[in-house]
């Protein structure tokens, strides 16, 4: 049986626990909540709980723990992390073992942090294991929440805390945390501590204490780039670089996020100009239509950014990103210091309008030759 994380969190394990659970998906906040719920409802004695990692122990150790008899409680609960790293032969052995687990064992399998590509392709969990658990236990899917789903999650958390939040505050909180429960959970705890006994949370409270996700920082950075505001863009870039660790580690991910944002702006620009016809040209990842179906709150901001950039300027931005990527990887000769590469890129992107204007003027100044 397969259920969503939201469904499972609403009803719990029920009267009779399943023999095996498989928790997977890219939404780590939901995954954490599901695992905590499983632990709270299944584990009655810590001595009869085991927590293993596929990357640290072999399958024989996992199976030995799963076949053990509980000592002080009705069941032995075995948590196994990182099932996407199981070898093919181990998957076959584990699938076979699931049907022979003692009635006193509850096996909880779950994935390590999944990438966006794994989630999109459904490759994090081997199909054979997924099918086996679906037939003999419960598969719990922790998918990224839609805008409505995240709003429901936030409302539930606020009710639990006896708080309310203004619509403006909710919109800002959702944007700053990228509608991710993993990012939102600690930020909400910080926000609740900040407001103290006050029951109503205002936008000013959110602005005062909630940290931006990297995605939200990149959105603001690209906003400054679209405005051609080099001073603000460089200041925002330095904020990201100073908070993320070594430039060599931060810059490649940052460039991926900037490129992703420009791909979304290109799709939005196509939609503005070609309306319903535009979707036929959207790539599979990132796909603007799919993104807005989940996170409708992004549409207004993306449209405002796209309105500031022409398709010609966006094409030039992709050229600049490609050049910077080649420089960073050492394909082209020159200074490939990570910090200087990203700084030059941001300055170049801020001058998109000036560059396209110069090109148009030069093109207009050249007479036709018969």
Model confidence over 306-356: pLDDT tens digits? 999 999 999 999 999 999 999 988 888 888 898 999 999 999 999 886 665
Largest CA-CA distance found in the chain, in angstroms, rounded: 95
Q: Tell me the per-residue pLDDT of 160-185, one tens digit each, with 9 for 90 and over.
A: 899 999 999 998 898 888 788 878 88
Q: Which residues lie across from 164 on neighbouring strands?
A: 200
Q: Is 59 among the domain residues?
A: yes
Q: Produce one character per residue of 74-97: b if its CB has 16 or more CB atoms within 10 Å, e if not.
A: ebbbbbbbbbbebeeebbeebbeb
Q: Tell me the per-residue pLDDT of 208-262, one tens digit each, with 9 for 90 and over.
A: 998 877 778 888 899 899 888 999 999 999 888 877 667 787 888 889 889 999 9
What pLDDT does residue 291 have?
A: 86
Q: Is 75 among the domain residues?
A: yes
221 within 8 A of 233, measured Cβ to Cβ: yes
Instruction: Count the alpha carbons within 13 Å of 284 in the hemisphere toward its beta carbon.
Output: 5
Q: Which residues lie across from 49 on neighbouring strands?
A: 77
Name the pTM for this structure: 0.58
What pLDDT does residue 31 have?
A: 86
Residue 153's nearest CA partner among 288, 4, 293 is 4
**362 — pLDDT class (breaks 50, 70, 90):** very low
Q: Which two tokens stand for residue 185?
A: 């959970």
**115 — pLDDT class (breaks 50, 70, 90):** low
Do residue 343 and residue 245 come from a single domain?
yes
Domain finish residue from 160, 188, 209: 209
**206 — pLDDT class (breaks 50, 70, 90):** very high
Torsion of CA 204, 206, 210, 214, to 10 degrees: -100
Do residue 222 and residue 344 come from a single domain?
yes
Do residue 120 and residue 155 come from a single domain?
no
Domain limits at 228?
214-360
What pLDDT does residue 171 have?
A: 87
What pLDDT does residue 216 have?
A: 82
Above 50 in pLDDT, residue 361? no
Do residue 222 and residue 196 come from a single domain?
no
pLDDT-wise least confident of 282-286, 287-291, 342-346, 362-366: 362-366
**Average pLDDT over all residues of the chain:** 85
Q: Is 189 among the domain residues?
A: yes
Residue with tokens 């660790």: 245
| Backbone torsion region of residue 63, taken as left when φ is above 0, otherwise alpha when ψ lies between -120 and 50, otherwise beta | alpha
Q: Which two tokens stand for residue 148?
A: 């409505």
Torsion of CA 247, 253, 255, 258, to 10 degrees: -130
């Amino acid at each position: 049986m397969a259920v969503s994380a939201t469904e499972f969190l609403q009803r719990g394990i029920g009267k009779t626990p399943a023999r095996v659970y498989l928790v997977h998906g890219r939404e780590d906040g939901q995954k954490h909540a599901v695992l905590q719920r499983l632990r709270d409802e299944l584990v009655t004695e810590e001595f009869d709980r085991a927590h293993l990692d596929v990357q640290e122990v072999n399958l024989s150790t996992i199976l030995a723990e799963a076949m053990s008899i509980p000592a002080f409680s009705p069941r032995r609960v075995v948590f196994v992390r990182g099932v996407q790293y199981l070898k093919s032969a181990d998957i076959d052995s584990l699938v076979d073992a699931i049907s022979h687990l003692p009635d006193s064992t509850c096996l909880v399998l779950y994935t390590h942090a999944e990438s966006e590509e794994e989630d999109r392709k459904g490759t994090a969990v081997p199909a054979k294991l997924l099918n086996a658990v679906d037939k003999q236990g419960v598969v719990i899917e922790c998918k990224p929440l839609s805008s409505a789903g995240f709003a429901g999650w936030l409302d539930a958390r606020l009710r639990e805390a006896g708080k309310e939040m203004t619509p403006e505050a909710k919109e800002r909180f959702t944007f700053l945390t990228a509608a991710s429960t993993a990012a939102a959970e600690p930020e909400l705890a910080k926000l609740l501590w900040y407001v103290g006994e006050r029951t109503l949370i205002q936008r000013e409270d959110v602005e005062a204490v909630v940290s931006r996700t990297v995605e939200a920082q990149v959105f603001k950075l690209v906003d400054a780039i679209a405005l051609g505001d080099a001073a603000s863009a460089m200041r925002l870039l330095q904020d990201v670089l100073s908070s993320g660790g070594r430039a060599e580690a931060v810059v490649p991910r940052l460039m991926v996020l900037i490129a992703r944002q420009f791909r979304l702006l290109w799709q939005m620009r196509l939609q503005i100009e070609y309306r319903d016809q535009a979707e036929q040209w959207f790539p599979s990842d990132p796909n603007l239509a799919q993104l807005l179906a989940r996170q409708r709150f992004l549409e207004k901001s993306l449209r405002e950014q796209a309105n500031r950039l022409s398709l010609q300027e966006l094409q030039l931005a992709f050229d600049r990103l490609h050049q910077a990527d080649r420089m960073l990887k050492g394909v082209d000769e020159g200074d490939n210091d990570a910090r200087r590469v990203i700084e030059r890129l941001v300055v170049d992107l801020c001058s998109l309008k000036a560059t396209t204007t110069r090109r148009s003027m030069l093109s207009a100044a050249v007479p036709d030759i018969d």
